[in-house]
Amino acid sequence: MNVLVTGGAGFIGSHTVDALLQQGHRVRILDALCKPVHLKGPPAYLPPEAELIIGDVRDKEVLGRALQGMDAVYHFAAYQDYLPDFSTFFSVNAAGTALIYELIVERKLPVRKVVVASSQAVAGEGLYRGADGQLFTPDIRPEERLARREWEIPDPAGRPAQPQPTPETVANPQNQYGLSKLSQEQIALSLGRRYHIPSVALRYSIVQGPRQSFYNAYSGACRIFCLNYYFNRPPTLYEDGQQIRDYVNIEDVVRANLLVMTDDRANDRVFNVGGGRGYTVREFADIVRQAFGKDLAAVVPGLYRYGDTRHIQSDISALQALGWTPRKTPADSVQAYRDYLYEQIDIDDIMEYAERKMRELNVVRKTQA
Ligand SMILES: NC(=O)c1ccc[n+]([C@@H]2O[C@H](COP(=O)([O-])OP(=O)(O)OC[C@H]3O[C@@H](n4cnc5c(N)ncnc54)[C@H](O)[C@@H]3O)[C@@H](O)[C@H]2O)c1
């Protein structure tokens, strides 16, 4: 097949490109090489066998050229930051996706499949079961509660509630990124169905592995904890460190990407792609500590980030029913990321950059206690 991979110079895109080339497909990448993801220019890992078009998915002329002659599309290019330029999330993530369908329909392009990268952020705070056994989907936690260190989400009657593995039916995004990703899913599946362009949306949990940019603010706990232990500093855990997350390895994600491209049972559906098991952030920090062979335990100074999800773990049974299951653990991902970190030559710059960025963003807040 001839496959277009938007965002193919990024983390998930580039690993998918490698796998497609390995399977004998011809690959074209459309990527704007955005900063800060590519702060130091085009990444060295880009394979010369893949054709590279440098351009923006919102540019109709460029996207039209990139789609020409393609049988299938992976759409990974996305805006994913913590900045308050809300409209950019929708122009890149929603309008960029709509433009793919617009061009396919307008120019009658013979694209046989579109796979779009969605996110667990669509599920917001996920699914909970209240003390009365009823399921509910909570909204963002009020800041007054967080300032009082009341981390857990109660049920609607104020009694203790339990987080549940969250299936694809839950869509309750709580920020501009999640909203834009839900919009992207709906555009892809709805226009796909209507114009007979088989489409699939994959809601990734936290994806981990090498090539994740050192410079973007959203690459999260793996990068920050690894950098801390590399420099022999204890990482900081927000809230009480008991937040549950699920982490999925990049190799498992690539297998999911390849599966849904060829399996027609996936057409016109949304799938969670997660690790299948929840870990507390404290457990994850300990996995990183062990990978670096350090004694320093993480610290919990009573900080929080307003807007953070308390617990989220995806229910992956729908994709498992198609024969996929995660094979790698967070420990595997951390080992691979640590090896990648050790290969870098500008590691002091990376830590300095990460810390300056966190201060500039001013997202971390202190509790009252
Ligand atoms: N990494 C994760 O944990 C994760 C989790 C959930 C969802 N996702 C989704 O998966 C996809 C890939 O994420 P990633 O982690 O590989 O991110 P990434 O930042 O490493 O890669 C994204 C790539 O898209 C390019 N890009 C951004 N805006 C563009 C535009 N307007 N036009 C053309 N290219 C553009 C960037 O230059 C970059 O190379 C994204 O859609 C993201 O929302 C990622």
Q: How far is CA 1 from CA 19, 23, 25, 112, 136, in A?
A: 13, 10, 5, 10, 43
Question: Is residue 369 in some structural domain?
Answer: no
Question: Whole-model pTM?
Answer: 0.96
The predicted structure's pLDDT at residue 82: 72
CA of 232 to the centre of ligand 1 (A): 30
Using CA atoms, how far apart are residues 300 and 316, in angstroms rounded to an integer?
31
The predicted structure's pLDDT at residue 39: 81
Residue nearest to atom 29 of ligand 1 (CA): 77
- Ramachandran angles phi, psi of 96, nearest 5°: -60, -40
Using CA atoms, how far apart are residues 142 and 330, in angstroms rounded to an integer?
31
Q: Which of 4, 53, 65, 80 to mutate to test the pocket of ligand 1 (most atoms within 8 A of CB)?
A: 80
CA of 351 to the centre of ligand 1 (A): 22
The predicted structure's pLDDT at residue 298: 96
Residue nearest to atom 7 of ligand 1 (CA): 119
Question: Is residue 92 in some structural domain?
Answer: yes
CA dihedral angle for residue 265, residue 249, residue 78, residue 175, rounded to 10 degrees: 100
CA of 301 to the centre of ligand 1 (A): 32
CA of 96 to the centre of ligand 1 (A): 13
- Nearest atom in ligand 1 to 34's CA: 37
What 3 state SS string does 228-253 have? HHHCCCCCECCCCCCCEECEEEHHHH
The predicted structure's pLDDT at residue 208: 96
The predicted structure's pLDDT at residue 348: 72
Question: Is residue 18 in some structural domain?
Answer: yes
Q: Count CB atoms within 10 A of the CB of residue 153.
A: 22
- Nearest atom in ligand 1 to 207's CA: 3
Question: Is residue 368 in some structural domain?
Answer: no
Residue nearest to atom 8 of ligand 1 (CA): 119
Question: Is residue 196 in some structural domain?
Answer: yes
Using CA atoms, how far apart are residues 363 and 327, in angstroms rounded to an integer?
34
Q: What letter does residue 122 receive in the DSSP assignment?
A: G
The predicted structure's pLDDT at residue 83: 77
The predicted structure's pLDDT at residue 219: 63
Q: Which of 5, 11, 273 to mutate to test the pocket of ligand 1 (most atoms within 8 A of CB)?
A: 11
- Ramachandran angles phi, psi of 183, nearest 5°: -60, -45
Question: Is residue 367 in some structural domain?
Answer: no
Residue 31, domain extent? 2-361
- State the DSSP string of 305-318: ETT--S---B--HH
CA of 154 to the centre of ligand 1 (A): 34
What DSSP element (H or E) covers 75?
strand 72-75
Question: Is residue 175 in some structural domain?
Answer: yes
CA of 147 to the centre of ligand 1 (A): 33
The predicted structure's pLDDT at residue 368: 67
Residue pLDDT tens, the chain, 369 long: 999 999 999 999 999 999 999 999 999 999 999 988 888 888 999 999 999 999 999 999 999 999 999 999 999 999 987 778 999 999 999 999 999 999 999 999 999 999 999 999 999 999 999 999 999 999 999 999 999 999 999 999 999 999 999 999 999 999 999 999 999 999 999 999 999 999 999 999 999 999 998 877 666 889 889 999 998 999 999 999 999 999 999 999 999 999 999 999 999 999 999 999 999 999 999 999 999 999 999 999 999 999 999 999 999 999 999 999 999 999 999 999 999 999 987 777 777 777 677 666 655 667 765
CA of 93 to the centre of ligand 1 (A): 10
CA of 78 to the centre of ligand 1 (A): 5
Ligand 1 — pocket residues by CB below 6 A? 6-7, 9-13, 31-34, 37-38, 56-58, 76-80, 92, 117, 119, 204, 206-207, 213, 216
CA of 305 to the centre of ligand 1 (A): 23
The predicted structure's pLDDT at residue 294: 96
CA dihedral angle for residue 59, residue 63, residue 64, residue 65, rounded to 10 degrees: 110
What DSSP element (H or E) covers 182?
helix 176-194
Question: Is residue 147 in some structural domain?
Answer: yes
Residue nearest to atom 18 of ligand 1 (CA): 10
Number of structural domains found in the chain: 1
CA of 367 to the centre of ligand 1 (A): 33
Whichever domain contains 249, its CATH number is: 3.40.50.720
- Nearest atom in ligand 1 to 14's CA: 16
